Structure 1
Amino acid sequence: MNIIDKIEQAQKSNHIAYSFEYFPPKTELGFANLIDRLGRMAQLEPEFISCTWGAGGSTHDRTLELCTTAQSLYGLDTLMHLTCTNMEKAKIDEALEQAQKAGIRNILALRGDPPRGHEYWTPVDSEFQHAIDLVKYIRKHYGDTFCIGVAGYPEGHIDCPDKEQDMQYLKEKVDAGADFVMTQLFYDVDACVTWMQKCRAYGIQVPIVPGIMPIPTYQSFRRMINLCNVKVPDNIMSDLDAIKGDDQKVKEYGVNLAVKMIQRLHKEAGICNFHISTLNLERSTRLILEALHLHKENGLHVNKVSPWAPIHDPAKAELWDEFPNGRYGDSRSPAYGENTYSSGQILPTSQAILKWGEPETEQDIAQLFINYINGQVKSLPWCEEALHTESETIRQRLTDINQRGYWTVSSQPAVNGASSQDKIYGWGPKNGYVYQKAFIEFFVSDQQVAELLIRLGKDDSITYYATNQKGDFSTNVSDAEAQNAVTWGVFPGKEIIQPTIIEKASFEAWKDEAFGLWTEWEEQYAPNSPSQKVLKEIGDSYWLVNVVHNDFQKPDVLFDVMLS
């Protein structure tokens, strides 16, 4: 059914209603396990679920499959996200036709992010340059077939510094036929309430559904707020900084914060509908509903058996991937690939030049990587924040490695039983111990890679994966399904937790994004400029290599081998 009816009914009855957002995982097993998780979360009886849409329709098939499965298998109403600026008209028509055929009756109409370097970018189809174009198109060709939602930005859109203009754009989307507004994530309730009041004063009278995102981990929280340009009140940031080494406390804080936000918005602004961004995890969502006394103990019981067998014991399924740290989580997890806000940085060319200059040679690029290691450059396209404190112990080795032509984008030192409360290495619940294998990931030229892999292959304790943009691939791991835990923790009363796993599936999934960032960096410079040319040449020819030294009791060996 059209979800606007549910949204309006909740508002009329003045009771809190909730819905869940999911994204298509990057791997087959992750998707299969999400379907299984979706069945359990259906028992929480959300009013509807939504599923995100990858840039340019990159998750087209998976998004449609997730929506149709949720409807047919679990009886859930679905809201399908749809972006338009990187989509040809034929693809938009195909998506809408398939949605209609599948019984999907709700669309969240979005512009979608242009590629980085948007000063030199033009839409794929000139008919679709803004979300309003998609709203008008759907209304013109489908009438009232679809209920349409649009995005609202309580703190202003990142590409529209003029908040009055941004409000005008939202009013125009509503006037064009949008049924409701769904907000971007936020953590400043006062700012959101003020913004909603301005919406009403501006004549925007359709329901507004706040987007609530429970904090998953400290690092992913920092990444998301930076990339989405979300302001966080000082007291919240201070609270999180004080507990950032304890993932359990961060999660608990995130649940409590989400509960307080919902309660305030309901009490002070009369808001009754809330859309929870689950990041494909389930426990935090359930705990939020329990704290709000909305957990339906005798809710929907799903009698149908999922065609996908769960990877883990269902009794433990809620917890097994609750601590996703870093890009190398378990590729079987429904939350694998959770950085749906992308890993790179959206910068206009002027800011890219200010941050990274105008490199013209490979030596210029190498110096940028070295300057990042030494703190003179605060970020790189693959690394949003400065080098983590734990890398201080290997900073000089990383500098030496980069000077040899191995441009590092990820690394960690070996750790043998540090306290989980250690200020540098600690994570997870208190009174535990954490371990790490040394690993390093880097780009290297095609002239250097062959000799390097031969050298690495001589040490039985080293495993590696290597690939380039063309898809050439090399590894010394004989088992294609092997999962190598490179970070793990032992905690009181818990099973061993392995938040960082390196495997072929996750490496290949990351490879596409890693090389895509070369292209996006390249597009931040004018076509045919020296900077654009050198970045393209490097992206086309360099290899991405991931190396693990599996003897975590020998912390220096990996770096000795790299520098030998």
Structure 2
Amino acid sequence: MHINEMLAEAERTGQPSFSFEYFPPKTAQGVQNLYDRMERMYDFGPKFIDITWGAGGRIAELTCDMVVQAQAYFGLETCMHLTCTDMGEEKINDALRRAYKAGCTNILALRGDPPREKEQWVAADGKFRYAKDLVAHIRKTYGNHFDIGVAGYPEGCDDNKDEDSLLDHLKEKVDLGATFIVTQMFYDADNFVRWVGKVRERGITIPIVPGIMPIATYASFLRRANHMNCKVPEQWMTALEPIKNDDAAVREVGKTLVAELCRKIMAAGIVHLHFYTMNLAQATRMVLEELDWMPTTTRPRKQALPWKQSLALGRREEDVRPIFWRNRNKSYVSRTQDWDEFPNGRWGDSRSPAFGELDAYGIGLTGTNESNRKKWGEPKSVKDIASLFVRYMENDLPSLPWSEAPLTIESNSIKNDLIKLNQRGLLTINSQPAVDGVKSTHPIYGWGPSNGYVYQKAYLELLVTPELFPEILRRIEANPDLSYYAVTRSGQFLTNTPSEGPNAVTWGVFPGKEIVQPTIVEHISFLAWKDEAYRLGMDWAHCHDANSPSRILIEKIMNEWYLVNIVNNDFREPRSIFELFDGLSVQDIDVPVKTPIHESNGIDKESNGVSTVNGSGTVSAA
């Protein structure tokens, strides 16, 4: 979606909107941490994000990679910065091609700063000297595919303080095809309003997006203001100077100052603000909360579908997904990106020969062995593992090997049932509650157009010990409303479904539309998910030393336990899917586990005997 269209919508509805800027980090760990932060900040509700351009080499490549990640996996409409600095025509065309393939439809065209080792800016091949040259090239090459933004300078730029000259340059960029303006950061609202008037006097009518820098610490605030030659109002310094050594106090005062700046800007008729986050969340979040712009349970972020939609090229019309990847969005998008059906804009049959192999997409467990041991400890019994799952259900753990994000608010209605199951050693890795026709505007379950109704079947996916599985199967078969798939790591597969067709577990009914069924359970996709689910468990096991009790225990669960998903097809009945397990508990069963014998020479040998994980959760010799 073009930024121009987003801004027009904000003006039409009168609803304030905002966007975030990020920059490519210098380290691999910094990149991964930023992706995690971007995904969390998605829930703040930005209309779009932009990624700054790192001129030349690895950082330039990283900008393109981050655009792909943001569009395809996080569903964030993304604007890519592109500069002339150290960029000949071939490099510029390559960057534009990658942005196009990622589904990106917005570019911020900039001249850029000279490389640090050069005192003055020099065009790489003589063709792209100014941002206007880049604007003209993009418009000529790609027509109207890209919305093209350019920079505006309310207080001048570092090598030109002549306002009239800068306005002349701005008019040239607009005449050559620029469609919106993003300003340099500023803190002087009155000067910005005056500058906007000057811009309009030049006949420039395209939208202006003001750049806002939240205040994280006094030192960083002062450093950035000085670097950009920003005028800081005297009352700001009066408020911040006495508390400059107290970071928490600076953020509290800073959020009030910046929020007041935002209110003055909006009062002058601006509909959208752009926050320079510096890859940090807290200061930006505090400003949004002060403005009362953050989504809440009574004012949720509006979503078109019940899952995070990919914005990659060819996937924007995707409206159906298997539920198995509910907690692993990136993995699902990666593994299905070459399915034959996507050019037609529909989720298709995973029998496609293009269905991705596990190793090709790096879907395994993230994080180092050490960090994962620190996060999940070193379980020595089923009871220890069950305790980890319970902590996750109680929001005391942010993730599990099969769930990358914390438990969602949607699960609150079934949280107690989930906790009871996991306390008894029935390890749940995916679930959803039954929903019987709530309004599509519902703050927790709602999605899609207004004035509709949404429904859900109760769904449960869990790991089941082989000792309990026959009884669970008997109970499922006795209830005609329940359907299931079950499989072991070795491939033993059972189901009571009459065909291989999909079973819709989420659907919506809206005025003037067909019934939308965006989330399904489907046979072939379940078998694809089975490989991934067991792979994640084995990756967790391999975070522990060979022959350690934790590794032996987790590997045994992966090698012997069933992966089972169950759907209650009576969506009016919320609890029978949990009543299925009444009276069942792993704690009543001894689970054999081999343990190593530690000899004096330090070499581990497996005993011929067997140890058991008993009801107390301890490991004992048999």
Deviation at 1:236, TM superposition (A): 1.1
Structure 1 runs not aligned, ≥5 long: 319-564
Q: Secondary structure at the match of 2:185?
A: coil
Contact 1:56 1:84 survives alignment (8 Å): no
Per the alignment, residue 276 of structure 1 pairs with 275
2:46 maps to which residue? 46
**More off after superposition, 292-301 vs 193-202:** 292-301
Distance 1:237 1:243 in 2: 10
Question: Contact (CA 8 Å) 2:20, 2:48: kept in 1 or not?
Answer: yes
8 Å contact kept, 2:72–2:102: no
Aligned equivalent of 2:5: 5
* Paired residues of 1:86 and 1:112 also in contact (CA < 8 A): no
Deviations 1:516-535 (A, max 9, x none): xxxxxxxxxxxxxxxxxxxx
2:81 matched to which residue of 1?
81
Alpha-carbon shift at residue 293 of structure 1 (Å):
1.9
C-alpha distance in structure 2 between counterparts of 1:120 and 1:3, whole Å: 32
Structure 2 counterparts to residues 348-367 of structure 1, below 5 A: none
**What is the one-letter code of the residue matched to 1:9?**
E
Q: 1:29 corresponds to which residue?
A: 29
Q: Distance in 2 between matches of 1:317 and 1:15?
A: 36
Partners in 1 of 2:187 and 2:173 — Cα distance? 25
Deviation of 1:13 (Å): 2.2
Alignment partners' CA distance in 2, 1:241 and 1:21 = 27
Moved more, 102-111 or 213-222: 213-222
SS in 1 for 2:292: coil
Shift of 1:290: 1.9
Aligned equivalents of 2:52, 2:131: Cα separation in 1? 15
1:175 aligns to what?
Answer: 175
User: 1:247 matched to which residue of 2?
Assistant: 247
Equivalent residue letter for 1:185: M
1:316 shift after superposition: 9.9
Q: Is the 1:185–1:213 contact (alpha carbons within 8 Å) kept by the matching residues of 2? A: yes
* Aligned equivalents of 2:207, 2:294: Cα separation in 1: 24
**Match runs of 1:151-300 below 5 Å:** 151-267=151-267, 269-297=268-296, 298-299=300-301
Contact 1:57–1:87 (Cα < 8 Å) also in 2? no
The answer to whether the aligner puts 1:145 opposite 2:145 as a matched pair is yes
Q: Secondary structure at the match of 1:210?
A: strand
Q: State whether residues 56 and 83 of structure 1, in contact with CA within 8 Å, keep that contact through their aligned partners in structure 2.
A: no
Q: What one-letter code is carried by the residue in structure 1 that aligns with 2:246? A: D
Cα distance in structure 2, aligned partners of 1:120 and 1:274: 32
- Give, as a single letter, the amino acid of the residue that structure 1 aligns with 2:100: Q
Per-residue CA distance 1:345-372 (angstroms, 9 max, x = gap): xxxxxxxxxxxxxxxxxxxxxxxxxxxx
Displacement of 1:304 after TM fit? Answer: 4.2
Letter in 2 for 1:244: K
- Structure 1 Cα separation of the partners of residues 244 and 206 of structure 2: 39
How does the TM-score come out when normalised to structure 1?
0.53
Give the unaligned 5+ runs of structure 2: 309-325, 331-362, 376-391, 399-622
CA change 1:239–1:100 in 2 (3 A) is same
Counterpart code for 1:277: Y
User: C-alpha separation between the residues in 2 aligned to 1:170 and 1:156?
Assistant: 12
Structure 2 Cα separation of the partners of residues 140 and 22 of structure 1: 28
Amino acid of the residue matched to residue 187 of structure 1? Y
Q: In structure 2, what is the Cα distance between the partners aligned to 1:65 and 1:109?
A: 18
After superposition, what is the alpha-carbon deviation per residue over 1:162-209, rounded to whole angstroms, capped at 9, x for unaligned?
111011111111111111000010001111110011111111100000
Query: What is the letter of the counterpart of residue 68 of structure 1?
Result: V
1:103 aligned residue: 103
**Contact residue 85 and residue 115 of structure 2 kept, 8 A:** no
Tell me which residue corresponds to 1:326.
none
Deviations 1:323-345 (A, max 9, x none): xxxxxxxxxxxxxxxxxxxxxxx
SS in 2 for 1:93: helix
- The residue type paired with residue 292 of structure 1 is L
Higher relative CO (Cα under 8 Å, sequence separation at least 6) belongs to 1
Letter in 2 for 1:164: D
Amino acid at match of 1:176: L
| Aligned residues of 1:36 and 1:309 also touching (Cα < 8 A) | no
Give the 3-state SS of the residue equivalent to 1:35 in structure 2. Answer: helix
Rounded Cα–Cα distance in structure 1 between residues aligned with 2:147 and 2:280: 27
Give SS of 1:184's match.
Answer: strand
CA contact (8 A) 1:108 1:150 kept: yes
Shift of 1:116: 5.4
How far is the alpha carbon of 1:122 from its aligned partner? 2.6
Q: Name the % identity.
A: 46
Map of 1:505-544 to 2, 5 A cutoff?
none
Distance 1:29 1:213, change over 3 A: same
Does the aligned pair in 2 maintain the 1:85–1:125 contact within 8 Å?
A: no
In 2, the alpha carbon distance for the partners of 1:120 and 1:196 equals 29
Write out the 4+ residue segments of structure 1 that deviate beyond 3 Å after TM superposition. Answer: 115-121, 300-304, 306-318
Distance 1:121 1:132, change over 3 A: closer
CA-CA distance at 1:242 after TM superposition = 1.5
In the other structure, the counterpart of 2:516 is none
**What are the superposed Cα offsets for residues 57-89 of structure 1, whole Å, 9 maximum, x if unpaired?**
652221112111111112111000011132121
2:144 corresponds to which letter in structure 1? D
- The equivalent residue for 2:569 is none
User: Structure 2 vs 1, CA of residues 26 and 63 (structure 1 numbering), >3 Å: closer, same or farther?
Assistant: same
CA distance in 2, matches of 1:42, 1:25: 19
> TM-score, normalising length from structure 2?
0.49
Mark the CA change 1:165 to 1:47 in structure 2 (over 3 Å): closer, same or farther: same
Partner of 1:20: 20
Conserved in 1, the CA contact under 8 Å of 2:113 and 2:121? Answer: no
Larger radius of gyration: 2
Contact kept? 2:53, 2:59, Cα under 8 Å: yes
Q: What CA deviation, in whole Å up to 9, does each residue of 1:187-242 have, x standing for no partner?
A: 01111110011111111100000011101211122221222111111221232222
Q: Match of 1:476? A: none
Query: How much does 1:254 deviate?
Result: 2.2
Quick one: structure 1 residues 316 and 254, their matched pair in 2 at CA, closer, same or farther if it must change by over 3 Å?
A: farther
1:47 shift after superposition:
0.5
1:5-36 alpha-carbon deviations (Å, 9 max, x no partner): 00111122222101111111111111111111
Deviations 1:93-150 (A, max 9, x none): 1000111111111100000012358666532121111111100010111111111000
Could you tell which deviates more after superposition, 279-288 or 118-127? 118-127
Aligned pair count reads: 317
Whole-angstrom CA distance in 2 between matches of 1:177 and 1:12: 24
- Residues 361-420 of structure 1 deviation map (CA, whole Å, 9 limit, x = unaligned): xxxxxxxxxxxxxxxxxxxxxxxxxxxxxxxxxxxxxxxxxxxxxxxxxxxxxxxxxxxx
**d(CA) in 1 for partners of 2:121 and 2:222?**
28
Q: Counterpart of 2:82 in 1: which secondary structure? A: strand
Alignment deviations for residues 476-535 of structure 1 (CA, whole Å, 9 cap, x no partner): xxxxxxxxxxxxxxxxxxxxxxxxxxxxxxxxxxxxxxxxxxxxxxxxxxxxxxxxxxxx
Task: Indicate whether 1:129 and 2:129 are aligned.
Answer: yes
Aligned to 1:94: 94
**SS of 1:38 mapped into structure 2:** helix
Asked if 2 retains the 8 angstrom alpha-carbon contact of 1:73 and 1:304, the reply is no
